[in-house]
Structure 1
Amino acid sequence: MKLRISSKNKYLATIELEDLSRGILPIKQISSLYPSDYEGEISESEANQIIKMLEDYAFNLLVKYLAKEEHSQYQCVLYLQRKGFCSEIVQDAIHRCLELNYLNDQRFAELLISSYIKRKASKRAITAKLSANHIPINVWKPLLEELYTEEEKASNLEELLKKYYSTHSNLPPEKLKERAFGYLFRKGFDPDDIRDAIENLS
């Protein structure tokens, strides 16, 4: 089996097996077995040893990434892909983190929803964020319904509306309502809910 090791920078090397890039390893780690820039034939057992090193390094990188803050499975895949790991190595690291519950899309979705509710985001804006992170609808929909209640929505609209009115109090009343409607609509709130909020505040 053909192995090629190429220095990516002074700390990391890119590993290729059979002309396919498999990922990166610290130069200090791989140099214990091969020169930092190397090309040659190796046995299948030697290739398996390198693949195991790549899997462990990708896993350790992912654990550190997740230790800083919660991430979605999709974000983790992108993170390891940016590091240069092939899909097999990426999926191995993802699978190991899922098994250890270091990675959990339901937990991520709950934190994201709670965070955006605190920011007074609309349900539509939160849904867009969840979709952008490729969270399955069957995971986030029950959480969103549970956490984003009608009372929460009404409270958020009222607070945003009061804030907008106070910062644009120089406008004529009708113009103020028109501008406030546009502001809340752009944030993703439903037109009927906006009208109700404006009417209730008036």
Structure 2
Amino acid sequence: MRRSSEETKAVILGAARERFAADGYERATIRAIAGDARIDPAMVMRYFGSKERLFAAACAFDLALPAPGAMPRERVGELLVAHFLERWESDEALQILLRTGVTNPSAAERMREIFAAQLVPLAAELSGDPESAPRRAGLVTTQVLGLALCRFVLEIPPVVAMGREEVVRWVGPSVQRYLLDPA
């Protein structure tokens, strides 16, 4: 069965996401990814050029942050924590980046780029203070990445056992403070 170029890329990316999630960046190989996708390794290289570029494509994602004006100001922290929980649970690219970012400098850089590009503008708009926005976004990032690491990767039992609403109640006020309290 012949696939279109877009279908082939999608199959490769799906296989890459699964392989990077299972094996990590260092142990995942182009040959293994190609085998999972049931294609020749040369095709992976044709479409992506290198393992690094394949990884970047497999981990490309939009945080899909809600618009600041769409959130009641007094619930911003809660809504963002709930949003991030939903994203972590539904998008394996985020979990791949998290797992790999802990040990791979390229993955860590990719994570920094994504969070800075998408969270800093939100922090600037919400706080009305562009100068403190990188610091605010960085602190929010510590909360959501720390939560994701403990809940989805390390699977710390008390954190895993918490319901979504309970997590939101505990973590939301910290995110709220980071974004809206005076610097």
Q: Do the two structures share a fold, i.e. TM-score over 0.5?
A: no
Higher helix content, 1 or 2: 2
Higher strand content, 1 or 2: 1
Which structure has more RCO (C-alpha within 8 Å, separation ≥ 6)? 2
TM-score scaled to structure 1, two decimals? 0.27
